[in-house]
Amino acid sequence: MTGATDCISFDDFLKVDIRVGKIISVNDFPQARKPAYRLEIDFGKEIGVKKSSAQITEKYSKEDLLDRFVIGVVNFPPKQIANFISEALVLGVAEEGGVVLLGFDRQVEIGQRIC
């Protein structure tokens, strides 16, 4: 885990492509070692739809997640998780009882880059 004194340059930060997406599909992921969902997330015209495995079952039902706006990293290399290839990382805060997804206080367009 990165400590408060570890620094990166602003240019390093800009290399991380963080976008607004909308969850368009949520499925159970029984093959995962820890409880998770398989998500399909629409990141807009430039990025398209990406798949993600997310360990968010403790705080969110499938119905809660469908059509929800999320924030995700879209330029990490694909990662195989069990029999599934995860192409994006959904961002949240780990707290006791599970992960809380990051969100917005106003409506935004999918595909927007976080700056």
Give dist(CA 58, CA 93) in Å, integer. Answer: 13
- In this model, does residue 6 exceed pLDDT 90? no
Q: How confident is the model at residue 68 (pLDDT cuts 50, 70, 90)?
A: very high
Q: Which CATH number covers residue 71?
A: 2.40.50.140
User: What pLDDT shows up at residue 80?
Assistant: 96
Give which of 62, 52, 37 is closest to 90, Cα–Cα: 52
Q: What is residue 95's predicted lDDT score, i.e. its pLDDT?
A: 93
Contacts of 42 (CB under 8 A, 6+ apart): 21, 22, 24, 48, 49, 110
Contact 36, 53 (CB under 8 A): yes
pLDDT (mean) for 71-86:
97
Residue 1 in this model has a pLDDT that exceeds 80: no
pLDDT attached to residue 29: 97
Domain that holds residue 73: 13-101
DSSP letter at 113 equals: B
Is position 48 within any domain? yes
Asked if residue 109 is part of any domain, the answer here is no
Residue 108 within any structural domain of the chain: no
Number of domains within the chain = 1
Q: Report yes or no on 53 lying in a domain.
A: yes
On the question of pLDDT at 4 being above 80, the answer is no
Q: Among positive and negative, which fits the CA dihedral 48, 51, 55, 57?
A: positive
Domain assignment present for 22: yes
Task: Indicate the average pLDDT of the chain.
Answer: 94
Q: Tell me whether residue 23 is in a domain.
A: yes
**38 found inside a domain:** yes
User: Would you say residue 52 lies in a domain?
Assistant: yes
Per-residue pLDDT of 10-67, as tens digits, reads 999 999 999 999 999 999 999 999 999 999 999 999 999 999 999 999 999 999 999 9
